[in-house]
Structure 1
Amino acid sequence: MRPCLVLALMLALPAMADGQGAPVVPVAPGPDVELARDLVERGQILPLAKVLALLQARHPGQVVEVELEYSYGKLVYEVDMITRDGRLIEVDLDAATGAILDLDEEDD
């Protein structure tokens, strides 16, 4: 498995709702996406839409980048987002549970 699976980069459009309030993030097709889809189907990780909905409930904002990577000894969704008050934050979430592992405010 590659150390980093890029799921979506620099999303230009805001996430759309799936009818249940969960954001739907456009993702380019490719082998990384297929691998992530397989992990979801096997129940090893949560779907990205569910993880983003959990994140939005605690830290509302605009998602600009999502990566699935191996960190902390597990698969982690790394989400860069702009908060409602304009701060750029990076949030690491356990891909299996959606639990927030780390939250850093970017200095740039």
Structure 2
Amino acid sequence: MLLLSLLPPFLAVGQGIAKPDFEQAREAVEGGRILPLAEVLARLHETQPGRVIEVDLDDEDGMMIYEAELATPDGRLIEVEIDAASGRILALDEEDGD
């Protein structure tokens, strides 16, 4: 399954330096504060088909955001920001090939 190939989520902590914090992510899911990554990616795939390249979990001013990078079937690279609590897509940007 595609989800098994994903890198674990990361949380932004400290002085803007992202470090892996799997325990906090797991506790946030178990506590119902964020949706599981598998559920978020399943929802995303319904509207944005493609292969997931990378996923990060960031804390942006107290709001947990999944940032997913996808390669679309037509070869574009897009970045999607998703509210980790609701699964709602917040932003979708196509990355330049430069």
Instruction: Name the one with the larger helix percent.
Output: 2
Identity %: 53
CA separation of 1:26/1:88 partners in 2, compared to 1, >3 Å: closer, same or farther? closer
3-state SS in 2 of match to 1:65: strand
Aligned-CA RMSD value: 2.0
Indicate whether 1:48 and 2:37 are aligned. Answer: yes
| Residue of structure 1 equivalent to 2:66 | 77
3-state SS in 1 of match to 2:96: coil
Which segments of 5 or more consecutive residues in structure 2 lack a partner in the other structure? Answer: 9-18
**Which residue of 87, 90, 93 corresponds with 1:101?**
90
3-state SS in 2 of match to 1:50: helix
Equivalent position amino acid for 2:60 in 1: S
Which segments of 5 or more consecutive residues in structure 1 lack a partner in the other structure? Answer: 1-15, 18-22
Equivalent position amino acid for 2:52 in 1: V
Equivalent position amino acid for 2:44 in 1: L
3-state SS in 1 of match to 2:43: helix
**Which residue of 47, 70, 78 corresponds with 1:58?**
47
Equivalent position amino acid for 2:34 in 1: I
Q: How far did residue 36 of structure 1 move?
A: 0.5
Q: Could you list the per-position Cα deviations for residues 50-108 of structure 1 after superposition, in whole angstroms to 9, with x for gaps in the alignment?
A: 00000001001000110000226511000001011110000000000100000000002
TM-score when normalising by structure 1: 0.72
Aligned residues: 87
3-state SS in 2 of match to 1:55: helix
Any conservation in 2 of the 1:67–1:77 contact (CA below 8 Å)?
A: yes
